[in-house]
Amino acid sequence: MRGPHNIFRLIATGATLERTGAMRVILDAFEAPRLLRIVLRGLTWPVQWLGDRGDLTMPPATRALTALGPAYIKFGQVLSTRPDVVGAELATQLRVLQDKLPPFSLREARATIESELGLKADDAFEHISEPVAAASIAQVHKARLRETGEDVAIKVLRPGIERAFRRDIDAFYFAARIIEVLSPSSRRLRPMEVVAHFEHTVMGELDLRLESSAASEFASNTAKDEGFRLPQIRWPLSSRRVMTQTWAEGISFGDVEAIEAAGHDRRRLAARVLELFLLHALRDGMFHADMHQGNLKVAPNGDIIAYDFGIMGHIDEYTRRVYAQILYGFIRRDYRLVAEVHFEAGYVPADRDIEEFSRALRAIGEPIFGMDASRISMGRLLAYLFEVTERFGMETRTELILLQRTMVVVEGVARSLDPHMNIWQAARPVVEDYIRKSLGPTALARDLGRTAQVLSRFGPKLPELAQRALIAQSEPDPPPPKKNRVPVFLSGMVLGAVLLGLGLFAGQAL
């Protein structure tokens, strides 16, 4: 319930960050200004006794986010991929959130498997191991099929995970509502819609049947992609809270030393993971939206193996073309083109100055080109980008949230392998190929063909629709409505009463 009781949840969040020492660590990582530090520490220090101490064997930030729950762990997973934003030390500490969280017992996992699949675990599997990986939502066990002897991975949801996420999301909604009320300027960022988008994404991740379906579709889309493969779903042994897939053997992307020791080309892997993300997003409109190190492996032959398909991104053809043109403009350093695309897509209000916006974009893009990636401060770059969006009244585009978030994560993964990688050079071949195929004469002919197909489906109805339109035009215009004799001030009172009633109802709902 999104009521005022969530105030205590938010207070407990700040208290936990303070009690574990994570507040200081996070403020240091983000180089927070002195005034902000004083305000936040002043609010949380007196109530720190309300916070959770967490697992004392963990570093402060990891301990705090783990104690706060799965939604906060998701946030930590994103930060763990960005050492250039939060620093190498904090990123390394947070990396355990990807797949090394405290597991639940094998006994509980077997009970879930049996209740979900409606059979005895020993009838289907020769052996089920202790957890080999444990993340925020589920954990994975290695097993062997009794019938075929094939090694498989069994993913099992954590007990009570649905309730835990609901509690966190309700608190996020409450915080977003407070932000909108206290800071009207923040409404352009659509905090309520952002939380709703996060809720939709997470709730889909809590149904493993949807993940199995997404994995199957993703496998079909990428079947011909060189150097990339996915585990196969075993449908008879999968359900809402259990998913069984073929075992993927390889080195985790998080173990950079082992990757190098095995003789794999780190620079090539870094470029390839970025290329694959862009290829899937632009070509297919469906991409793996949780591509952190814990969900990627390097096979012995050098192939990239992706798994954990709980969060998949989808973007329509129009948005893909807009996104590609924006990237293309930055790659070509054509900031006027980038500005025009933003205005044409409605991302920037039409009353703003396009030339001024173009110059602001140049100030963002130019420092990147010709500079070693290790010298670029992504923290300062993102801060300036945020200033630009605020200055030009750009609203948050919820359809792009997952795409932008994944781009940040993938870039972080790539840079962990090759700190000197230039993301624009790596992205250029994929983006240019998509632009050539989607905006040229062939693409125009394809679009016209699709339009003709849609019209052909409505062919039998076209005569009837035309007849209705002609009849509607020939009918006389209806008489003007009678004027309302209710005084204007009374109408205003009625409207005010309705709005007041809705406000009270909304307050009760919160």
Of 49, 71, 98, the residue at which a domain comes to its end is: 98
Q: Do 231 and 259 fall into the same domain?
A: no
Q: How far apart are CA 87 and CA 283, in angstroms?
A: 34
Helices and strands per DSSP (H, E), number in the chain: 24, 10
Q: Do 94 and 203 fall into the same domain?
A: no
Q: How far apart are CA 465 and CA 458, in angstroms?
A: 10
Give me the chain's average pLDDT, please.
79
Residue with more model confidence, 113 or 322: 113
- Averaged pLDDT, 227-240: 94
Q: What is the 3-state secondary structure (H, E, C) of 406-470?
A: HHHHHHHHHHHHCCCCCHHHHHHHHHHHHHHHHHCHHHHHHHHHHHHHHHHHCHHHHHHHHHHHH
Q: Do 108 and 233 fall into the same domain?
A: yes
Whether residue 257 lies inside any domain: the answer is yes
Residue 408 has pLDDT above 90, yes or no: no
Dihedral sign computed on CA atoms, order 104, 105, 108, 109 = positive
Q: How far apart are CA 321 and CA 73, in angstroms?
A: 33
Residue with more model confidence, 49 or 368: 49
Residue 330 has pLDDT above 50, yes or no: yes
Whether residue 473 lies inside any domain: the answer is no
Residue 379 has pLDDT above 80, yes or no: no
Of 243-252, 358-367, 449-458, which gets the smallest average pLDDT? 449-458
- Averaged pLDDT, 472-491: 51
Residue with more model confidence, 389 or 140: 140
Q: How far apart are CA 140 and CA 36, in angstroms?
A: 41
Residue with more model confidence, 267 or 479: 267
Domain coverage including residue 30: 6-98
In this predicted structure, what is the pLDDT of residue 386? Answer: 62
- Averaged pLDDT, 102-129: 94
- Averaged pLDDT, 452-468: 71
Q: How far apart are CA 499 and CA 60, in angstroms?
A: 47
Q: Do 47 and 145 fall into the same domain?
A: no
Pairing of strands 228-229, 151-157: unpaired
Q: Do 231 and 255 fall into the same domain?
A: no
Whether residue 177 lies inside any domain: the answer is yes
- Averaged pLDDT, 478-505: 38
Q: Is 154 helix (H, G, I), strand (E, B) or coil?
A: strand
Whether residue 129 lies inside any domain: the answer is yes
In this predicted structure, what is the pLDDT of residue 372? Answer: 63
Q: What is the pTM of this model?
A: 0.70
pLDDT band at 489 (very low <50, low <70, confident <90, very high): very low
Q: Do 182 and 238 fall into the same domain?
A: yes
Q: Do 29 and 70 fall into the same domain?
A: yes
Whether residue 179 lies inside any domain: the answer is yes
Of 404, 437, 454, the residue at which a domain comes to its end is: 454
Q: Do 268 and 228 fall into the same domain?
A: no
Please give the positions annotated as active site: 290
In this predicted structure, what is the pLDDT of residue 490? Answer: 30
Q: Do 314 and 405 fall into the same domain?
A: yes
In this predicted structure, what is the pLDDT of residue 180? Answer: 75
Q: How far apart are CA 493 and CA 168, in angstroms?
A: 39
pLDDT tens readout for residues 334-360: 989 989 988 888 888 888 899 999 998
Quickly list H helices, 118-262. Answer: 121-124, 161-182, 191-205, 208-221, 256-261
423: nearest Cα among 374, 384, 385:
374
Q: How many CB atoms lie under 10 A from the CB of residue 471? A: 9
Residue with more model confidence, 200 or 183: 200
Whether residue 382 lies inside any domain: the answer is yes
Q: How many domains does the chain have?
A: 3
DSSP state of 282: I
Whether residue 472 lies inside any domain: the answer is no
196: nearest Cα among 204, 206, 208, 186:
204
Whether residue 460 lies inside any domain: the answer is no
Residue 93 has pLDDT above 80, yes or no: no
Dihedral sign computed on CA atoms, order 14, 20, 24, 25 = negative
- Averaged pLDDT, 77-89: 67
pLDDT tens readout for residues 128-140: 999 998 888 899 9
Q: How far apart are CA 493 and CA 89, in angstroms?
A: 60
